[in-house]
């Protein structure tokens, strides 16, 4: 099976887009999950912490 530009482009246009959308949804769900507020607030305060 030989992969040329056209077949790779067709694959990326269809399944690649779906893959990226699923990853995007997974990240959104991970950030919005219950219990993540404390971790988000801690991460937001990192620049203001003194050593």
Domain ranges of the chain: 5-48
Which distant-in-sequence residues (6+ apart) come within 8 Å of 31 by Cβ?
A: 40
**CB hemisphere CA count around 6 (13 angstroms):** 0
Where does residue 2 fall: left (phi above 0), alpha (psi -120 to 50 degrees), or beta otherwise? beta
pLDDT tens digits for 1-51? Answer: 678 899 889 888 889 889 999 999 999 999 899 888 898 899 899 999 886
The per-residue pLDDT for 51 is 64
The pTM for the full model equals: 0.62
Distance CA 15, CA 17 (A): 5
Q: Are the beta carbons of 43 and 49 closer than 8 angstroms?
A: no
Distance CA 6, CA 8 (A): 6
């Amino acid at each position: 099976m030989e992969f040329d530009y056209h077949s790779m482009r067709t694959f990326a246009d269809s399944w690649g887009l779906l893959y990226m959308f699923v990853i995007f949804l997974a990240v959104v769900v991970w950030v919005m999950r219950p219990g993540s507020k404390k971790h988000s607030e801690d991460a937001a305060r990192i620049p203001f912490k003194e050593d």
